[in-house]
Structure 1
Amino acid sequence: MFKRLPDTAPGAAVPVHFTFDGVALKARPGDTVAAALIAAGHDICRATPVSGAPRAPYCLMGVCFECLVSIDGVGNRQACLVPVQEGMHVQTQRGKRSMSEGASAAMGDRP
């Protein structure tokens, strides 16, 4: 469905290293997390909270919210809007966060 075009930009030869569900992957500098996952052959990035149905990036512009992932321990991140960074840990998002996780993230883990 998607075909990667050759990149001739300066610095394009230096890949960005990140992990997806514990698997080491490489991306091009400037790629979004969604683009990097698609280029690496990973098209499923989350499961729906109700049925567990697999979902994949769809609009690639931040409208549909189908590309939600957990990035460096923070859930509900739109993979199509976040540039991939060196050492980033991306995980499949399964279902929704619990109330305690949501409150903890909103309060910045304050007591």
Structure 2
Amino acid sequence: MFVRPFDSQQKAVPVVIDGETVMAAEGEMLASVLLRTVPFYTRTTPVSESRRAPYCLMGVCFDCLAVVDGVASVQTCLVPVRAGMRVERQHGRREVPL
């Protein structure tokens, strides 16, 4: 789907997505990494659990939400990649601890 070629100016760093290690350019937006990583979605909706993927890529639509380093509902289009990030696709409703 989306392939990002690396050039000699970019530093490739490992990011763990749903338990799989993926290489990404340090500083690129996390949403772009998720768009090119199978399966090509970031979350499922709370009601129908249909798959959603980044849409606006500027922080307006909230379709790019994922769990980043244990924090749920992070807008991945606004988060730059850094080495060692742990990302999980967000499924359905969030559980709120009582």
* TM-score bracket relative to the smaller structure: 0.7 to 0.9
TM-score in terms of structure 2 length: 0.87
Query: How many residue pairs were aligned?
Result: 98
Rg larger in structure:
1
Aligned twin of 1:99: 96
Alignment of 1:17-28 (within 5 A): 17-28=14-25
In 1, Cα distance between equivalents of 2:86 and 2:32: 15
CA RMSD of aligned residues (A): 1.9
In 2, Cα distance between equivalents of 1:44 and 1:52: 12
Instruction: Give the percent of matched residue pairs that are identical in Structure 1 and Structure 2.
Output: 45
Contact 1:15 1:28 in 2 (8 A): yes
Misfit runs of 4+, over 4 Å: 6-9
Q: With CA pairs under 8 Å and 6+ residues apart, which has the higher RCO, 1 or 2?
A: 2
Q: Please, which runs of 5 or more residues in structure 1 have no aligned partner?
A: 104-111
Q: Please, which runs of 5 or more residues in structure 2 have no aligned partner?
A: none
TM-score in terms of structure 1 length: 0.77
In 2, Cα distance between equivalents of 1:34 and 1:42: 13
